Amino acid sequence: EIVLTQSPGTLSLSPGERATLSCRASQSVSSIYLAWYQQKPGQAPRLLIYGASSRATGIPDRFSGSGSGADFTLTISRLEPEDFAVYYCQQHGHSPWTFGQGTKVEIK
């Protein structure tokens, strides 16, 4: 099983600041099989990034993904009020599909 470790657990930032979230895999993951999701309280997760760096439909360009091998990053260039949420990375290339434990981006 591929274990995904996200860091930090919580990120306290102000609107307008840059957020950098990390996702590290226990073994190499092909970039095409790495996705990021956003989840707000009481809502289902929403796909943000697929293929490590491609934005899903309707996702603003302040969200960007990068990385390869075992290290991946989600960057939010300038935080908007609606971006404060929990973010999960996922690998979907090897069964069992696995998620990171999540990074909470909270208002400072």
Binding site for another protein (CB under 8 A): 33, 35, 37, 44-47, 50, 56, 88, 90, 92-93, 95-102
User: Minimum Å distance from CB 106 to another protein?
Assistant: 14
User: Minimum Å distance from CB 41 to another protein?
Assistant: 11
Q: Which amino acid is at 59?
A: I
User: Minimum Å distance from CB 45 to another protein?
Assistant: 6
Dihedral-angle region of residue 67 (phi above 0 means left; psi in -120 to 50 means alpha; beta otherwise): left
Which uninterrupted H or E stretch holds 7? strand 4-7
- CB closer to another protein, 14 vs 57: 57
- CB closer to another protein, 37 vs 72: 37
8-state DSSP, 102: -
User: Minimum Å distance from CB 84 to another protein?
Assistant: 17
Q: Which two tokens stand for residue 62?
A: 């302040």
Question: At which residue do the structure tokens 């609107």 appear?
Answer: 15
- CB closer to another protein, 4 vs 19: 4
Q: Which two tokens stand for residue 45?
A: 């997760």
